[in-house]
Amino acid sequence: MKLLALKPGESVLDMGCGAGSIAIPLAQDGHPVIAADFSPAMLGTLDAGIEYYGLEGRITPLELAWDDDWDLVGPVAKAVDVAFASRSVTTTNLKGALAKLDRTARRRCAVTMVANSSPRYDLHVMNAIGASVTCSNGFVYAFNILIQMGALPLVTYFESPRRDTFNSLEAGVADFSRMLEHGNEDKVDRLRDYIAQHMIENPHAGEPGSKGVPQGRYMLDHVRKVRWAFIAWEPVSAPSS
């Protein structure tokens, strides 16, 4: 929200809004929000949040996917001051997605994309057990596409911490085993040894985690960090002031 640098009262499109983790606080700060997502279930949760916080009339939910024809079901051109997608650019047509954000905004556009490995992985663990990880270059493609579109994108990097908790060694192994794919399936024993050596008591065990689920009894002795690239640009087709 800080990086969006919104001006007071500016309207926004939150594309891929999910349950409203950004849309709701933006509306509470006085911004009219079009909150769009392809998932009816997510929009249902958003509706509950709108009612709970009394934000009717300040958030407009919209069922919308990147690959939809926005001329038919999406916001009209220059419908909002700022259009953004936070960690939600999930499409095979990245150029088309960026162009849709560009056409919708009057003043500013932004996307947040992963800037190293997938959030599924813990690089610290994977490196320690000798597992290979493919890093994502999607944000580089986005930057180059925007340059080709005639934009002058600015990139800011930031990290978000994540804590994985579990209730036993075997539960931790089962959870972290999701990372052992694409040729790393034989590293389970190394993973078990690593977790056994680095698991510590979780002082917040039982408290709600990031998804509202009670935290486990144990955690690893390091904080997993995911690096993100925040890419912002002025719409190429913005009207002259």
Whole-prediction pTM: 0.86
More confident call, 67 vs 121: 67
Is residue 240's pLDDT more than 50? no
More confident call, 6 vs 224: 6
Residues in CB range of 224: below 8 A, 6 or more apart: 122, 123, 124, 125, 161, 162, 163, 164
Phi, psi at residue 203, to the nearest 5°? -70, -10
CATH 3.40.50.150 location in the chain: 12-114
CATH number, domain 12-114: 3.40.50.150
Q: What is the mean pLDDT of residues 44-54?
A: 97
Residues in CB range of 62: below 8 A, 6 or more apart: 34, 35, 36, 37, 74, 75
- Determine the pLDDT at residue 241: 46
Quote the DSSP letter at residue 223: -
